[in-house]
Every structure is written in structure tokens, then in C-alpha cells.
């Protein structure tokens, strides 16, 4: 049972590493700024950028 869990954990870690490699290939210049936030790694910084976007123009009502 434990050996099966270890195999699954190793597969999940490999998949996360592969995903991080794909993210780094599609790097955006703003990701460096997000990586400076404590606790944000490559994957989470990219997700934050995707949510916020790279449009820095604020609407007039803000």
C-alpha cells in the first residue's frame, strides 16, 4: 500500500516539474515581479499573472 502511494507521489512530482518547465518556456516579463512576492513559486506566480492580467491601465472609476 505504501509503495503504491510513493509511486503516485513520484508521478505527481514529475508532472509538476514538467508543468514548471512548460511555464518557464512561455515566460512573461511580469512573472519576475510576481516571483519577488514571498511564497509565490513559478506555477503560482504564473496563475496570479493569468488572473490579474498584464493590462496596467486602470479604468477612470478606480
How confident is the model over 3-56, as pLDDT tens digits? 999 999 999 999 988 887 777 777 667 777 778 889 888 778 878 877 877 666
What whole-number distance in Å separates Cα of residue 58 and Cα of residue 34? 19
In a domain, 57, yes or no: no
Give yes or no for residue 62 having a pLDDT over 60: no
Give yes or no for residue 60 having a pLDDT over 70: no
Query: What is the domain count for the chain?
Result: 1
In a domain, 26, yes or no: yes
Look-up: residue for cell 503504491?
Answer: 4
In a domain, 41, yes or no: yes
- Domain with 14, as residue range(s), is 2-52
In a domain, 11, yes or no: yes
What whole-number distance in Å separates Cα of residue 2 and Cα of residue 40? 31
Look-up: residue for cell 508543468?
Answer: 19
Look-up: residue for cell 477612470?
Answer: 60
In a domain, 62, yes or no: no
In a domain, 59, yes or no: no
Quick check: helix, strand or coil at residue 26? Answer: coil
In a domain, 33, yes or no: yes
Phi and psi at residue 22, in whole multiples of 5°?
-65, -40
Amino acid at each position: 500500500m505504501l509503495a503504491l502511494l510513493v509511486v503516485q507521489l513520484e508521478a505527481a512530482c514529475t508532472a509538476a516539474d514538467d508543468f514548471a518547465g512548460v511555464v518557464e518556456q512561455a515566460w512573461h516579463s511580469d512573472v519576475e515581479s510576481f516571483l519577488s512576492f514571498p511564497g509565490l513559486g513559478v506555477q503560482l506566480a504564473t496563475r496570479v499573472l493569468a488572473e490579474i492580467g498584464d493590462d496596467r491601465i486602470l479604468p477612470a472609476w478606480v
